[in-house]
Amino acid sequence: MIILKNIFFAVFITIAVSALAFLSGPKADRENIIVQDTIVRYHDGIFEGESQHIYKDEPYWGKVQIRIEKGQLTSVRFTIRDTSLHETFNQFYEKHFEKIPEYVEQCRNDWKGVQSYPARFLEKQNIDKVDATSGATWSYNIFKASADSALKKAIVK
């Protein structure tokens, strides 16, 4: 009877230690376990997407053009167009807010995002792995929604 209790106790301790080691281990190791039930494939070609994302009351439209070759993104272009002023959002757009320093800074941050998101998307080959530039959430949201719109057109069904 004592031997049986000792075996039970040893098994219990082994299970408890293993569980604690797993739960207290690096979080990244647990996050890298990916369950994927579908593989998305894309047609080769050039695909365009446009979106305002959630900014429906604003006159800004993002446009993404994606080139896909052999199932891989080979180029990505991104612009934001102000449809009320009929101009493209760029490094000079802050002139419209020269008396509001916070908006000037916001324009500068979003311009950095507009310039960097296409390269990050090419590098990652997955729009969901592209992170927003600090202070440039507006341009990120428009970029991501526009890229999603283009990718939907490219999916092999």
Alpha-carbon span 1 to 49, nearest angstrom: 72
Question: Looking at residue 24, what is its pLDDT?
Answer: 52
Residue ranges of the domains in the chain?
Answer: 2-31, 45-154
- Sequence-ordered list of residues with C-beta below 8 angstroms from that of 64, at least 6 positions apart, any chain: 48, 49, 50, 76, 77, 78, 118, 143, 146, 147, 149, 150
* 51/149 Cα distance (integer angstroms): 7
- pLDDT in tens for each of the 157 residues of the chain? 566 454 545 444 555 545 445 555 554 444 444 444 567 899 999 999 999 999 999 999 999 999 999 999 999 999 999 999 999 999 999 999 999 999 999 999 999 999 999 999 999 999 999 999 999 999 999 999 999 999 999 999 8
Q: What's the pTM value of the predicted model, to 2 decimals?
A: 0.75
Q: What pLDDT sits at residue 104?
A: 97
Q: State the CATH class of domain 45-154.
A: alpha beta
